[in-house]
Amino acid sequence: MKIVIVGAGFGGLRLARKLNNKPGFEVTLIDRFNYHQFQPLFYQVATAGLDASNISFPLRKVFHKSKNVRIRLSELKQVIPAENKVITDSEEIEYDALVLATGADTNFFGNAEVEKNAFPMKSTLEALQLRYRILENFEKALTVTDPDELQKLMNIVVAGGGPTGVELAGALAEMKKYVLPKDYPELDFSKMNIYLLEGTTRTLGTMSEKSSAQSRKYLERLGVTVMTGKLLKEYNGNTVLLNDGAIINTATVIWAAGIKGNIPGGINKELIARGNRIKTDRHCKVPGHDNVYAIGDLAYMETSAYPNGHPQVAPVAMQQADMLAHNFKMIERRSRPDKMYEFEYKDKGSMATVGRNLAVVDIPKPKLHFGGFLAWMIWMSLHLMLILGVKNRFFVFCNWLYNYITYDQNLRLIFKHKNKSAL
Identify whether 167 is a catalytic site residue: yes
What are the E-state strand segments in 229-357? 232-235, 239-242, 247-249, 252-255, 259-261, 272-273, 277-279, 292-294, 299-300, 350-355
Tell me, yes or no, whether 232 lies in a domain.
yes
**Residue at a domain's end among 198, 227, 257:** 257
Statement to judge: residues 165 and 96 lie in one domain:
no
Parent domain of 192: 113-257
Residue 365 in any domain: the answer is no
Percent of the chain with pLDDT over 90: 90
Q: Which listed residue (26, 92, 136, 167) is catalytic?
A: 167
Residue 35's alpha-carbon distances to 17, 69, 176, 205, 223, in angstroms, are 14, 15, 32, 31, 36
| Residue of 110, 211, 107, 124 whose CA lies nearest to 159 | 107
**Distance between CA atoms of residues 52 and 186, nearest Å:** 29
The arithmetic mean of pLDDT across residues 93-120, rounded, is: 95
Residue 158 identity (one-letter amino acid): V
**What pLDDT digit, counting tens, does each position of 147-191 carry?**
999 999 999 999 999 999 999 999 999 999 999 999 999 999 999
204/316 same-domain check: no
Q: Is the pLDDT of residue 323 over 50?
A: yes
Please indicate, yes or no, if residue 293 is contained in any of the structural domains. Answer: yes
Cβ proximity of 161 and 203 under 8 Å: yes
CATH number, position 211? 3.50.50.100
**pLDDT digits over 7-54, tens only?**
999 999 999 999 999 999 999 999 999 999 999 999 999 999 999 999
pLDDT digits (tens, 9 = 90+) for 206-232: 999 999 999 999 999 999 999 999 999
Identify the pLDDT of residue 273.
94
For residue 347, is it within any domain?
no
Any domain includes 378 = no
Of 284, 309, 339, the one marking the end of a domain is 339
- Specify the CATH number for the domain of residue 70: 3.50.50.60
DSSP state of 303: -
Amino acid (one-letter) located at 271: L
Pair (200, 269) in one structural domain: no
- Region 70-97: mean pLDDT is 95
Same domain, 143 and 251: yes
Residues 85 and 159 grouped into a single domain: no
- Give residue 340's pLDDT: 86
Query: How sure is the predictor about 417, in pLDDT bands with cuts at 50, 70 and 90?
Result: low
The model carries a pTM of 0.91
Q: Residues 117, 229: one domain?
A: yes
> Does 377 reside within a domain?
no
Same domain as 290, residue 280: yes
Task: Note whether 127 and 250 are same-domain residues.
Answer: yes
Specify the pairing of strand 155-159 against strand 252-255.
Answer: parallel
Residues 250 and 263 in one domain: no
- Domains held by the chain: number: 2
Residues 127 and 252 in one domain: yes
Same domain, 238 and 291: no
Q: Which residue has the higher pLDDT, 408 or 318?
A: 318
The verdict on 95 and 128 lying in the same domain is no
Whether 222 maps to a domain, the answer reads yes
In a domain, 405, yes or no: no
Instruction: Categorize the per-residue pLDDT at 422 as very low, low, confident or very high, splitting at 50, 70 and 90.
Output: very low
Phi, psi of 98 (to 5 degrees): -115, 130
Q: Where are the alpha helices (DSSP H) in 30-118?
A: 42-46, 59-62, 112-117
Residue 338 above 80 pLDDT?
A: no
Domain boundary among 306, 339, 372: 339
